[in-house]
Amino acid sequence: MSDAVVDASVVLAILFREPGADNAARAIGGPGVSLLSSVNLAEVFTRLTDARWPPDRMQAAVARLRLEIRDFDAELAFSAGLLRTTTRQAGLSLGDRACLALGMRLALPVVTADRTWAELGLPVEVVVVR
């Protein structure tokens, strides 16, 4: 997989060596660009902080993944907010909706470890790694 938007769950699957980590690594390790919303980057750092990773280890681990970080701007905030109506029943978080909004904006597939995304019927390709 290349030229895709990845969810925090994909990054965390790799860093925590969770089920699906190999698929997640293949999904972001292709020849293209893998994008991560700055909101999802904050999610990753939050989970690593909860796991008591030292800050320098966090930054080095994320840097090794060579993700392109995209800022969460006002237009994405609006799109993510509008997604609340169609994703409320599935319990999607702001981070989830930020990822989906970025994929929709750029017309790129979104890669996630959350299977429920594939069932939402949104106008974006969803690739599930586990």
Is this model's pTM higher than 0.85 or not? yes
Q: Phi first, then psi: give them for residue 44, nearest 5 degrees.
A: -60, -50
The architecture (CATH level 2) of 4-128 comes to 3-Layer(aba) Sandwich (3.40)
pLDDT band at 2 (very low <50, low <70, confident <90, very high): low
**Tokens representing 38?**
């700055």
Q: What is the pLDDT of residues 10-50, one digit of tens each?
A: 999 999 999 989 999 998 887 788 999 999 999 999 999 99
> What are residue 67's phi and psi, to 5 degrees?
-85, 145
Could you read off the pLDDT of 46-94 as tens digits, one per residue? Answer: 999 999 999 999 999 999 999 999 999 999 999 999 999 999 999 999 9
Domain boundaries, the chain: 4-128
Categorize the per-residue pLDDT at 1 as very low, low, confident or very high, splitting at 50, 70 and 90.
very low
Instruction: For residue 94, give both structure tokens.
Output: 């702001």
CA distance linking residue 80 with residue 77, whole number of Å = 5
pLDDT of residue 33: 87
